[in-house]
């Protein structure tokens, strides 16, 4: 998983360098697919429940699962880039939100909130902490800044499959608390706050994949694959 994570980190780094106004999203998809295959890994999303591409590319009000096509990135937009890779049967999954050229102060604040929520959540990935400690760290960080956390999608366990137990909600309530789980040493988790400027509610476009904010306002997504080690969290999707 560490080696798969490094490949995902390289892919996101390539995305960070390529994502400029005018770039076609399908060209970014092709470049990242080539990087993953060149590292002897396999794109984890392509073919998953029929998903047609290597990356998920979610622009502005798109929350997650945006499908690459010939659209071009626009100055002032934000791009959620989500990448998964499988190496020797082990998965890694991570995402970043990338500013396209100069973006508004509000978009910057939104991205910062989502990134800080992920950082705070990772600190909770220790033996003996509970899933709800991760969820609460995300919700508290985001809501303190006046933004909302998406409730319709969650983080997840990951390992020899892309999605494993436990589900990792980005908020806490009575329902989620009832199936709260203590984190075991060696657990591997994909933690992925999705943060909206306005309402947390979402809808899915008619292509069956692209998730957008219900109010059309901005959304930002960051994700890392993290191992719960004896001494604390180890982020696997880094260089």
Applying CB under 6 A, which residues contact ligand MF3? 45, 48-49, 51, 56, 65, 82, 93, 95, 156, 190, 192, 223
From 62, 93, 116, 124, residue interacting with Co ion (rule: CB under 5 A): 93
- Residue closer to Co ion by CB (options 60, 93) is 93
Separation of alpha carbons 223 and 237, rounded Å = 9
Give the shortest CB-191-to-ligand MF3 separation in angstroms: 10
- Residue closer to ligand MF3 by CB (options 65, 136) is 65
Contact 179, 168 (CB under 8 A): no
- Cis peptide preceding 166, ω within 30 of 0: yes
Q: Which of 18, 16, 20 is nearest to 239 (CA)?
A: 16
The entry of Co ion, ligand MF3, none near residue 51 (CB within 5 to 8 angstroms by kind) is ligand MF3
The distance of Cα 218 from the centroid of its chain, to the nearest Å, equals 15
Give the bridge partners for 213, in sequence order. Answer: 202
Q: 197 by DSSP, 3-state: which? A: coil
Give the shortest CB-55-to-Co ion separation in angstroms: 13
- Residue closer to ligand MF3 by CB (options 61, 93) is 93
The entry of Co ion, ligand MF3, none near residue 65 (CB within 5 to 8 angstroms by kind) is ligand MF3
Give the shortest CB-168-to-Co ion separation in angstroms: 9
* Residues between 176 and 205 that touch Co ion (CB under 5 A): 190
Site string for Co ion, 15-54 (x = CB under 5 A): ----------------------------------------
Sign of the torsion formed by the C-alpha atoms of 50, 14, 218 and 116: positive
Give the shortest CB-86-to-ligand MF3 separation in angstroms: 11
Burial of 167 (0-12, 13-18, 19+ CB in 10 A): middle
The entry of ligand MF3, Co ion, none near residue 48 (CB within 5 to 8 angstroms by kind) is ligand MF3
Separation of alpha carbons 193 and 114, rounded Å = 6
- Residue closer to ligand MF3 by CB (options 155, 233) is 155
Q: Which of 190, 191, 189, 218 is nearest to 202 (CA)?
A: 218
- Residue closer to ligand MF3 by CB (options 20, 155) is 155
Name the strand (E) or helix (H) holding 222. none
Nearest 5°: the CA angle 67, 192, 212 is 40
- Residue closer to ligand MF3 by CB (options 106, 160) is 160
The entry of Co ion, ligand MF3, none near residue 147 (CB within 5 to 8 angstroms by kind) is none
- Residue closer to ligand MF3 by CB (options 113, 168) is 168
Q: How many residues does the chain have?
A: 239
For the chain, the 3-state helix, strand and coil shares in percent, each to the nearest 5, are 30, 30, 40
Binding site for Co ion (CB under 5 A): 93, 190
């Amino acid at each position: 998983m560490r080696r798969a994570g490094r490949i995902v980190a390289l892919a996101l780094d390539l995305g960070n360098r390529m994502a400029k106004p005018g770039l076609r999203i399908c060209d970014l998809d092709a470049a990242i697919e080539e990087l993953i295959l060149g590292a002897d890994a396999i794109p984890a999303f392509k073919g998953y429940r029929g998903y047609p591409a290597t990356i998920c590319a979610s622009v502005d009000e798109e929350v997650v699962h945006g499908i690459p096509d010939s659209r071009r990135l626009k100055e002032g937009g934000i791009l959620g880039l989500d990448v998964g890779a499988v190496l020797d049967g082990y998965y890694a999954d991570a995402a970043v939100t990338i500013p396209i050229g100069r973006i508004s102060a509000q978009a910057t604040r939104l991205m910062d909130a989502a990134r800080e929520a992920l950082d705070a959540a990772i600190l909770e990935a220790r033996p003996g902490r509970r899933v709800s400690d991760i969820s609460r760290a995300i919700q508290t960080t985001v809501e303190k800044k006046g933004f909302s956390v998406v409730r319709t999608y969650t983080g997840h366990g990951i390992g020899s499959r892309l999605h494993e137990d436990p589900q990792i909600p980005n908020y806490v309530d009575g329902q989620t608390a009832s199936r709260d789980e203590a984190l075991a040493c060696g657990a591997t988790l994909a933690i992925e706050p999705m943060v909206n400027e306005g309402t947390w509610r979402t809808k899915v476009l008619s292509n069956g994949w692209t998730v957008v904010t219900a109010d059309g306002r901005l959304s930002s997504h960051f994700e890392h694959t993290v191992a719960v080690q004896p001494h604390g969290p180890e982020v696997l999707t880094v260089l």
